[in-house]
Amino acid sequence: MPAALPPPDAWHTAAELAGVADLPDTERGVLLVAAREEWPSRPRQGRGGGREYPVSALPEKARQALARRALAADAPPAATVAAERGQRDPADLKDTSRSCMDARAALCAEVDRVHLEYGLSQRQAAQALVDQARARDLPEHLARMVPQANARGGRTGSRTLSLRSIQRWLAARAAGGDVTALAPAEARARDLAPWVYPLMKLYHRPQKPSIAACLEW
């Protein structure tokens, strides 16, 4: 059964696929494989004609290789804009916390893009991003976001990514419903009711009063 068609921009010609992992090194070789395996195809637009094939029809190693290639290329900033369209801007977030939230949202959006366009699992797409960060091959606009995304307590974080961190951000975004869930935990704590802070100040006195006693003061 032909593979499901991916998004419109995830198509490649046989010449573009030649030499990609698990595929023949020549255009003719790719065409023979495409015919033998009955890859879905469509007419190529523009000069030269020919046909092009969806990434979803390719072997998994080839999809992963194309995903890494896409990450290494300087993808247009529009790839990061989608994550920001529904973004709220909490007035109580510090600039550093907002920058951290925005950076995490952009990196999560890049994982989404690779996941959807290259037919990889979300984990594989995240790992591809981690590998590119480790190799210092991320596009400049994404590389700048890594230390911001890793920031803790207002301090610039590591310039590398971990799979665990990205998975944690993706889970937080899914659970929270929007990118505000990606704000650092210490920043979100500022949403507590104003009476909490005086109460905690009383509670931490050396006399160690009870909560009930603090509430009576």
Is residue 2, in this structure, part of any structural domain at all? no
Please give the Cα distance from 201 to 54 (Å, whole number): 61
- Domain shared by 26 and 114, yes or no: no
> Can you give the pLDDT at residue 76?
44
- Domain shared by 108 and 211, yes or no: no
Structure token pair of residue 138: 């991320």
The tens place of each residue's pLDDT in the chain, 217 residues long, gives 344 444 445 788 988 898 888 898 888 989 999 999 999 999 988 777 788 998 888 888 888 888 777 765 544 443 343 344 444 455 567 778 888 888 998 999 999 888 888 888 889 999 999 998 988 888 888 888 999 898 765 455 567 889 999 999 998 888 877 778 888 865 444 555 666 667 666 666 767 677 666 666 6
The parent domain of residue 36 ranges over: 11-58
Is residue 6, in this structure, part of any structural domain at all? no
- Domain shared by 52 and 72, yes or no: no
Sign of the dihedral through C-alpha 37, 43, 46, 48: positive
Q: What is the 3-state composition of the chain as percent helix, strand, coil, each rounded to the nearest 5? A: 55, 5, 40
- Domain shared by 134 and 35, yes or no: no
pLDDT > 70 fraction of the chain, expressed in percent and rounded? 68
Rounded to two decimals, the pTM is 0.54
- Domain shared by 113 and 209, yes or no: no
Is residue 1, in this structure, part of any structural domain at all? no
Q: What are 51's strand-pairing partners?
A: 43
- Domain shared by 168 and 133, yes or no: yes
Please give the Cα distance from 167 to 32 (Å, whole number): 39
Is residue 139, in this structure, part of any structural domain at all? yes
Please give the Cα distance from 64 to 58 (Å, whole number): 10
Is residue 150, in this structure, part of any structural domain at all? yes
Is residue 5, in this structure, part of any structural domain at all? no
Is residue 4, in this structure, part of any structural domain at all? no
The H or E element containing residue 161 is none
Q: Are 145 and 103 within 8 A, CB to CB?
A: yes
- Domain shared by 20 and 110, yes or no: no
